[in-house]
Amino acid sequence: ERRMRTDSNPVGRLVEQFITASFQAHPYQRPTVGWMSDLHTFSATDARKFFDQYYIPSNMVVAVVGDVKASETIPIIEKYFGRLPTKPKPDERTTTEPAQNSERRVVLRGAAQPFYIEGYHRPDYLSPDDAVYDAISDLMSNGRTSRLYRALVRDKKIAAFAAGFSGLPGNKYPHLFSFYAVPVPGHTPQELGEAIHAEIERLKKEDITDDELKMIKTRAKADLIRGLGDNSGLAQQLAIYQSRYKVSKVDIRRVANQTFTDNNRTVGINETLKASSATQGGAQ
């Protein structure tokens, strides 16, 4: 899996080093599947120890959805999970990532398609501003009417694709709001970065339009309606919809100015070299 997703994938290699550069203290800096040296030394005993420590009743949540009766369901749960021995829940202490105080950069050069990504530290998904970040992602990235698509793909014609999103590499703890883009032939990742920064500055200095805010809330309502068909997401969809519907223009500018700063930014770039002279390396 590591060879397929990372070692043999130029974007995968870049994103791995980009995340490692972004987090210098928090465990998010470590790849989920581990480094190759971890895989070479990992044993069945290690796997069993991990399983016994974390796959325990005090660290589990069982969810049952559908037209079921508790009197019939609980015995089934007891049958499959009741035999697991009870143990204290593992310690969940984590290192807090210190505030970033300068831009960081990772550049990989090789025979690969050019690619640009940048990320900004943001709070976890429990933050009161989580819905604001969702609104920014929608505004910047949702479809052909999004700001990044219109600016980089349609108008300037320098990118084949451009988007922004939260949740890298996960959202349980403070993580990254990221923007990425793929340049068209004849244009560079650096050009994409400049164009993305121009759109970010616009977001920080100018209120979004009434039509844009209305569109964000309309899509939030559409997401809610689609989610009502899924019992597992019903309560979550209602909560998300209510929080998104309260987002204002002032909220978007405030969060953009708090988050999208030069010192809070990490940049990752894949630069293309001719195959005959390509080398792989990184610089931070």
Q: Which of 79-88, 99-108, 155-164 has the lowest mean pLDDT?
A: 79-88
Q: What pLDDT is recorded for position 253? A: 98
Token readout for 61 is 């949540």
Indicate if the pLDDT at residue 191 is higher than 50.
yes
Rounded CA-CA distance 219/239 in Å is 15
What is the arrangement of strands in the sheet containing 159-168, beginning at the earlier edge strand? 159-168, 175-183, 115-122, 265-272, 104-110, 282-283
**CATH code for the part of the protein at 100-283:** 3.30.830.10
Q: What pLDDT is recorded for position 89? A: 87
Q: Please count the other Cβ atoms lying within 10 Å of the Cβ belonging to residue 109.
A: 17
Whose tokens are 């300068």? That residue is 102
Instruction: Provide Rg for the chain, Cα atoms.
Output: 22
Indicate if the pLDDT at residue 283 is higher than 60.
no
Q: Map out the domains of the chain as residue ranges.
A: 100-283
Average pLDDT score over residue span 236-260: 83
Q: What pLDDT is recorded for position 249? A: 96
Amino acid (one-letter) located at 83: R
Indicate if the pLDDT at residue 278 is higher than 60.
no
Average pLDDT score over residue span 56-82: 88
Q: What pLDDT is recorded for position 237? A: 60
Rounded CA-CA distance 182/152 in Å is 10
Indicate if the pLDDT at residue 13 is higher than 60.
yes
pLDDT tens-digit series, residues 121-158: 999 999 999 999 999 999 999 999 999 999 999 999 99
Q: What pLDDT is recorded for position 241? A: 59
**Do 90 and 53 touch, CB atoms closer than 8 A?**
yes
More confident residue, 160 or 275: 160
Rounded CA-CA distance 95/145 in Å is 40
* pLDDT, the chain, mean: 89
More confident residue, 244 or 281: 244
Average pLDDT score over residue span 62-76: 87
Indicate if the pLDDT at residue 282 is higher than 60.
no
For residue 277, name the pLDDT band (cuts at 50, 70, 90): low
For residue 284, name the pLDDT band (cuts at 50, 70, 90): very low
Rounded CA-CA distance 278/261 in Å is 33
